[in-house]
Amino acid sequence: MAIQPRPTILVPGRINPRVTDRLAERFDVLRVPHGPDLELGETEAACVRGVAVSGALPGRWIAQLPNLQVISSFGVGYDAVDVTTAAGRGIVVTNTPDVLNDEVADTAVALLINTVRQLPQAEIWLREGRWEREGPFPLSPLSLKGRHVGIHGLGRIGLEIARRLEPFKVRISYHTRRPRTDLGYGYFPSLTALAEAVDTLISIVPKTPETFKAINAEVLSALGPNGVLINIGRGWTVDEEALIDALRDGTIAAAGLDVFQDEPHVPEELLTFPNVSLLPHVASASVPTRNAMADLVVDNLIAWFETGRVLTPVPETPQKPVK
């Protein structure tokens, strides 16, 4: 019996090294730079049957790969992959949901506590010797106690955040496109209505046309002078200019951000506010969680080429058995 050639998997640009290490055990791995163009000759491009990618995969790159069957994307969000082009050709796209839910939810709660209690600033006070020289760190003007938390996006991660907040004895409400009948949290039909009702807003929504700058001056004004904004979803959900104005003018009390619109660039003015806690997009950035994400990227590709079905397809793409 003739030995079947190993499928070729294209890896454009950087990805967790666990992905490439595991891919090499089962596939031929073709690595190329992640630049403006996909630098592949016609012969190489024709060999590619799968892609493992962390970041963008434009439609024009997909068009260069005539025998592509499956795209395995590293991360829950897959907006940087041209899913429309992939779906039009019957190419399956996968992402890595669930395996990072706990880590992101933990980080959201930690960022909220850091923001209201100013714990990073307190640690700096200690490390700089100011406790000994100047006395106790000033009392934090805010507390988590008695807050009403609104969650913008009650999907899998949003629900994990809500469940973690229940023991803190805060009130929990939410806004999504449709109410959930299986939960007892208060539902609000619009983001502005939610912001008016709560004093703490946690955003964990995907990057879609509808979420672009959804948290704008109107929403921030509705949140009010005791309001706290936490964004751990996508940077483009928040109108950063409106947020800077709101913090400068006291329209809201504080903000905690793990994501930004033009990462890794962070608006200089955000760095100057003492009532802002900032993280460099680290919500899922632990070795165990990133390893689990890497494994799911590879396992999706293995499943496809062994069974013709993937483990975690995105809803926009079909699952047609490989021929």
Active site residues: 234, 263, 281
Q: Could you give the angle at which helices 287-307 and 17-26 cross, rounded to 10 degrees?
A: 30
**Closest alpha carbon to 148 in 175, 115, 171, 167:** 171
Q: CA-CA distance, 223 to 200, in Å (whole number)?
A: 7
For residues 276 and 217, what is the distance between their CA atoms, to the nearest angstrom? Answer: 17
d(CA 94, CA 98): 13
9: phi then psi, degrees, rounded to nearest 5: -110, 125
DSSP string, 31-93: EE--SSS----HHHHHHEEEEEESS-B-HHHHHT-TT--EEEESSS--TTB-HHHHHHTT-EE
- Of 103, 158, 118, nearest to 283 by C-alpha is 103
Looking from the CA of 299 toward its CB, the CA atoms found within 13 Å total 12
